[in-house]
Structure 1
Amino acid sequence: MIKTMFYTFFRTKHQEENANNDQILPQEIDIRPITPCPWDIIKTLSPLEVGYRGRLQLPMVYIQATILRHIPDLMSKTHMKIGHFALKVKDLDTNTVHTVSFWKVIQEDNFSTRETWIKEFVKRRSLEPGMVVGMYWDFNVTMLCFSVLEMKGVDE
């Protein structure tokens, strides 16, 4: 916690009327840094997402609002009803970058990833049902960032 001295230069009318000296006294206040939650997507992994044929789904609204809006080449591909594109995903816990393929299917309102998700994240990181993961789009490096936020639900 950061502490600083804050000097009050203006007094209330009541303070002015009752003041017996002209001394300005410092007050100690707490200043807490504002740390916004960077995680746009927080998911508790289900058995269907980490199973042998599991797949991770990201909402279409999120993909359009972040990723597709800033990568024009992908926007034209996804105007088709069936689309496929690859994204770089940075694992913040291990500081590694992986390429993950996403698919858009006609019947679904999501983008899904299967083989690359299982290989690059589930098996490598030993992800299990009940773990909480977070993801956000980093505009500075134009890649999706991933991290395991909670290990709850994991059998020890």
Structure 2
Amino acid sequence: MIKTLFYTFLETKHQEENANNDQLLPQEIEIRPVTRCLWDLSKTLSPHEVWNRGKLQLPMEYIQATILMHIPDLISKIQMMIGHFDLKVKDLDTNTVHTLSFWKDAYEDNFATRETWFREFVKRRSLVAGMVVGMYWDFNVNMLYFSVLE
């Protein structure tokens, strides 16, 4: 916790009438730093997500709350809702940018990627079941950031 002193220069009407105007009193307040959780989405990889026919799934709520809100083109939004779309993903650990192909899973309420996920991340980074990965969407560059946390 960070504490600091500041002086009040504006007083209420009641304080002004009843106080000595020559004296300013310091007040102690608490300032809490605002920190955003960097990883919007963190997940422990399951065996199904790291084998060569496995797929990484992102929940529909996450896609709607981050990616769909910040794509200005209506046609791109429609493509994302009904079918296939490509998404730029930056691997923060290796400082490389990859393109993952996502599609809407017909039987579940999420988006999934298979071949590009396995080739670009699982095989290249030697990911195994039990590893924790984190992802967040950067609104400024319209890119998903990825990192292996544990």
TM-score range, shorter chain: 0.7 to 0.9
**Structure 2 CA distance, aligned partners of 1:65 and 1:5?**
39
Instruction: Look up the match of 1:78.
Output: 80
**Structure 1 CA distance, aligned partners of 2:74 and 2:38?**
24
1:11-90 alignment to 2 at 5 Å?
33-69=33-69, 70=71, 72-80=74-82, 83-90=83-90
TM-score of the aligned structures, taking structure 2 as reference length: 0.76
Cα deviation, residue 31, structure 1: 7.0
Which AA in structure 1 matches 2:147?
S
Which AA in structure 1 matches 2:88?
K
TM-score of the aligned structures, taking structure 1 as reference length: 0.73
Cα deviation, residue 5, structure 1: 7.4
Which AA in structure 2 matches 1:49?
E
Cα deviation, residue 8, structure 1: 9.8
Instruction: Look up the match of 2:122.
Output: 122
Select the structure with the greater relative contact order (CA < 8 A; seq sep ≥ 6): 2
Which AA in structure 2 matches 1:135?
M
CA spacing shift, 1:33–1:109, aligned 2, 3 Å: same
1:24-50, Cα deviation, whole Å (9 max, x unpaired): 9x9xx9977443212111100010000
- Give 5+ residue unaligned stretches, structure 1: 10-23, 152-156
CA spacing shift, 1:30–1:78, aligned 2, 3 Å: closer
CA spacing shift, 1:66–1:30, aligned 2, 3 Å: closer
Which AA in structure 1 matches 2:124?
R
Cα deviation, residue 143, structure 1: 0.5
CA spacing shift, 1:88–1:79, aligned 2, 3 Å: closer
Q: Secondary structure at the match of 1:35?
A: coil
Q: CA RMSD in A?
A: 3.1
**Structure 1 CA distance, aligned partners of 2:137 and 2:86?**
14
- Give 5+ residue unaligned stretches, structure 2: 10-23
Which AA in structure 1 matches 2:59?
P
